[in-house]
Amino acid sequence: MEKVDITIIGAGVVGLAIAAYVSDKSRNVLVVEKHKSFGQETSSRNSEVIHASIYYPKNSLKGKLCLEGNEMLCELCHKYNIPHKNTGKLIVACNDEEVAKLPILLNTAMNNGAKGVHIISQDEVKKMEPNVEARAAIYCPTSGIVDSHSLMRHYEAMAIENGANAIYGIEVVSIDKASGGYIVGYKDRSEVRGKFQSRILINCAGLESGKISEMAGINQDEAGYRIQRCKGIYFRVRHGIEKFPKMLIYPVPPVHGHVGVHTTPDLGGGMRLGPHFYWTDEMDLNVDESYREYFYESAVRFLPFLKIEDLQPDIAGFYPTRQKPGEGLIDFIIKHESERGLDNFINLVGIESPGLTASPAIGKYVKELIDNSIYLL
């Protein structure tokens, strides 16, 4: 049976970032992905925002890895010419109630260490973004956008250069503990099955990360690892490009745990609104036209130039979240499962937003988990 040192299950932005950071010529690292190429799921269906680390609870993994990831990602983008833009972001308050919430939000952002965030006046908003309506705002200078596909291509190239292998069209279907690691069962796209042995397993399966945990012997409900079906949808604004804000424009979060429908400028000069998300049993990626009015009402408050007829359904994505309806923000799980008797199993579950931003910091964090572990290798 073929043997490898480290297997990473899933070639989304997180699995590929980890592959880039943990690979070196002394280790045999393998990435297995069920689709024919990388990034076919959540990593291609998001806002592509480089977050500044604003909303997360103090000392959360999300907050720490987002902050570090923001800096690391900007450096990577500059160094390797990965298309990106440091747009900056405004969180706009449109009425008295929202103005009163800005200092609380600013405090959370400062507790997270977000750089350069401060409150600006109505006049300053107008100077920065003449077509945006707000009574005041929080300015976040380190937010931006990145081409997620180019980023994933970069991570994949970095991993391969370090000696790693990426195999596509291979779905992991079973995991059995064995002496010296795990026996991984897989099937290919023609249903041909096989097995190989891996000393370390890293679960980066996104929406399937609860299921992979279960394969390894963890009860996903008892562990709180079940991924909920939470869909995020977008509308594109078709006309009025001359009025589109250059920065990211976010509302004051309407409810705890939701950032609200916001603008995302794309690198081609277009603009999307979203995501609006909701829990559903739907599996499909269609965007229901009936949400047009909701999107319009949410955004016209701060984008008065919007016309409802210009909104066109765009993409949708599912959050790999553990958060249930009504719950507030919940943290990433990134850990050894040694306390569950799974010594060489590193588990990443619920890597929702800001997983794209945090990806290089997650790669570094997992490398440190492996390098400093008494359990591994």
With H, G, I as helix, E, B as strand and everything else as coil, classify residue 221.
Answer: helix
**Smallest distance from ligand FAD to CB 1, Å:** 18
**Smallest distance from ligand FAD to CB 14, Å:** 3
- Provide the residue type at 233 as one letter: I
**Smallest distance from ligand FAD to CB 5, Å:** 18
Dihedral sign from CA coordinates of 324, 330, 332, 333: negative
**Smallest distance from ligand FAD to CB 359, Å:** 7
Q: How far apart are CA 38 and CA 61, in angstroms?
A: 25
**Smallest distance from ligand FAD to CB 203, Å:** 9
Interface positions with ligand FAD (CB under 6 A): 9-15, 32-35, 40-43, 45-49, 51, 171-172, 204-208, 232, 275, 317-320, 351-357
Residue nearest to ligand FAD (CB): 355
Instruction: Using the minimum distance from each CB to ligand FAD, give the nearer residue, 124 or 314.
Output: 314
Instruction: Using the minimum distance from each CB to ligand FAD, give the nearer residue, 11 or 202.
Output: 11
| Pairing relationship of beta strands 144-146 and 170-178 according to DSSP bridges | unpaired
| Pairing relationship of beta strands 3-9 and 193-203 according to DSSP bridges | parallel
Contact 57, 129 (CB under 8 A): no
Contact 48, 266 (CB under 8 A): yes
Nearest Cα neighbor of 358 from 21, 11, 53, 8 is: 53
Nearest Cα neighbor of 131 from 282, 303, 318 is: 303
**Smallest distance from ligand FAD to CB 238, Å:** 20
Instruction: Using the minimum distance from each CB to ligand FAD, give the nearer residue, 344 or 359.
Output: 359
Question: Which helix (H) or strand (E) element contains residue 72?
Answer: helix 61-80
Instruction: Using the minimum distance from each CB to ligand FAD, give the nearer residue, 35 or 177.
Output: 35
CA distances from 177 to 198, 201, 285, 321 (A): 10, 10, 36, 27
**Smallest distance from ligand FAD to CB 167, Å:** 10
**Smallest distance from ligand FAD to CB 374, Å:** 27
103 forms beta bridges with: none
Any residues with CB less than 8 A from the CB of 106 and at least 6 apart, and which?
A: 117, 118, 119, 138
Instruction: Using the minimum distance from each CB to ligand FAD, give the nearer residue, 181 or 317.
Output: 317
Pair of tokens at residue 298: 């949410």
Contact 327, 155 (CB under 8 A): no
Instruction: Using the minimum distance from each CB to ligand FAD, give the nearer residue, 43 or 87.
Output: 43
CA distances from 80 to 152, 198, 253, 330, 369 (A): 12, 32, 34, 33, 26
Instruction: Using the minimum distance from each CB to ligand FAD, give the nearer residue, 239 or 324.
Output: 324
Instruction: Using the minimum distance from each CB to ligand FAD, give the nearer residue, 117 or 204.
Output: 204
